[in-house]
């Protein structure tokens, strides 16, 4: 990794742990293994580093959202896949998605940074909500909606069903971000959640 990218990487780590204002340029430089003034050959200011991180994050989020959309673009097929899934397989899929959010290093650090900075930056608040509320609700809404249309799940209110499916994942994610030690318990609870959801909405047990 080049120096320029390493600066972004170390800065992101620090911003996600302490917030922008609590990170000093010298600190970033030190981690990269250079002195603070050298850093200014790569970025013209501390703010420019932050902006570059945000831009990189937007690109990644956009790409990930697009991939979800592509998958969601052939929804009949997706729903067909889900129809044939055993409950165990469904649990595995759900927990894999959760595990990815928690363990993908960039994703996790971006999210923690957004959590800290959201209240004094409207753009970041929107990014957070798109990524962790609206996009997932849309994606799972499409999928669960198709399963409902096919009679795999039974409901006359897909929006509410989707909220009930996704909200526990969201909550447990914020818990594990704060305290990674709670991950095993979170996984256990989410597994029970998926099985229970499956039962409640009428899939065979």
Nearest to 90 by CA among 202, 195, 201, 204: 195
> What's the rounded Cα separation, in Å, for the pair 8 and 13?
9
Nearest to 10 by CA among 46, 41, 37, 55: 46
Which of a second copy, DNA, none does residue 189 bind to, with CB < 5 to 8 Å depending on kind? a second copy
Residues, the chain: 205
Q: Which C-beta is closer to DNA: that of 36 or that of 95?
A: 36
Is the separation of the CB atoms in 97 and 172 below 8 Å? no
Which of a second copy, DNA, none does residue 44 bind to, with CB < 5 to 8 Å depending on kind? DNA
Tokens of 154: 């039974």
Nearest to 111 by CA among 34, 45, 170: 170
Alpha-carbon distances, residue 12 vs 49, 77, 132 (angstroms): 9, 38, 19
Alpha-carbon distances, residue 151 vs 135, 146, 195 (angstroms): 24, 9, 18
Is the separation of the CB atoms in 94 and 194 below 8 Å? yes
Q: Which C-beta is closer to a second copy: that of 107 or that of 118?
A: 118
Site mask, DNA, residues 15-44, x = CB under 7 A? --------xxxx--x---xxxxxx-xxx-x
> What's the rounded Cα separation, in Å, for the pair 51 and 45?
10
Q: Which C-beta is closer to a second copy: that of 24 or that of 40?
A: 24
Asked whether position 106 contacts a second copy by CB under 8 A, the answer is: no
- Among the candidate windows 53-61, 62-70, 73-81, 155-163, which touches a second copy by CB under 8 A? 155-163
Binding DNA by CB under 7 A: which of 11, 12, 19, 46?
46
Q: Which C-beta is closer to a second copy: that of 103 or that of 199?
A: 199
Asked whether position 116 contacts a second copy by CB under 8 A, the answer is: yes
Asked whether position 174 contacts DNA by CB under 7 A, the answer is: no
Residues that bind DNA (CB under 7 A): 3, 23-26, 29, 33-38, 40-42, 44-47
Residues at the contact surface with a second copy, assessed by CB under 8 A: 16-19, 21-22, 112, 115-116, 118-120, 125, 128-129, 133, 155, 157, 159-161, 163-164, 166-168, 170-171, 174-175, 178-179, 189, 192-193, 196-197, 200-201
């Amino acid at each position: 990794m080049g120096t320029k990218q390493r600066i972004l990487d170390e800065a992101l780590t620090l911003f996600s742990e302490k917030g922008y204002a609590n990170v000093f340029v010298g600190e970033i430089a030190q981690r990269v293994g250079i002195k603070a003034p050298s850093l200014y050959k790569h970025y013209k200011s501390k703010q420019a580093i932050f902006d570059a991180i945000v831009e990189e994050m937007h690109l990644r989020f956009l790409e990930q959202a697009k991939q979800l959309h592509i998958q969601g673009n052939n929804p009949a097929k997706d729903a067909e896949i889900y129809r044939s899934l055993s409950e165990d397989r469904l649990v595995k899929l759900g927990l894999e998605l959760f595990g990815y959010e928690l363990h993908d290093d960039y994703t996790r650090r971006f999210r923690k940074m957004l959590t800290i900075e959201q209240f004094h930056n409207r753009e970041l608040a929107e990014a957070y909500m798109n990524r962790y509320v609206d996009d997932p609700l849309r994606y799972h809404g499409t999928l669960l909606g198709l399963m409902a249309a096919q009679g795999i799940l039974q409901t006359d209110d897909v929006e509410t069903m989707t909220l009930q499916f996704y909200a526990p994942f969201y909550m447990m994610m914020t818990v594990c971000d704060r305290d990674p030690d709670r991950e095993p318990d979170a996984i256990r609870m989410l597994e029970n959640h998926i099985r229970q959801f499956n039962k409640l909405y009428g899939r065979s047990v």
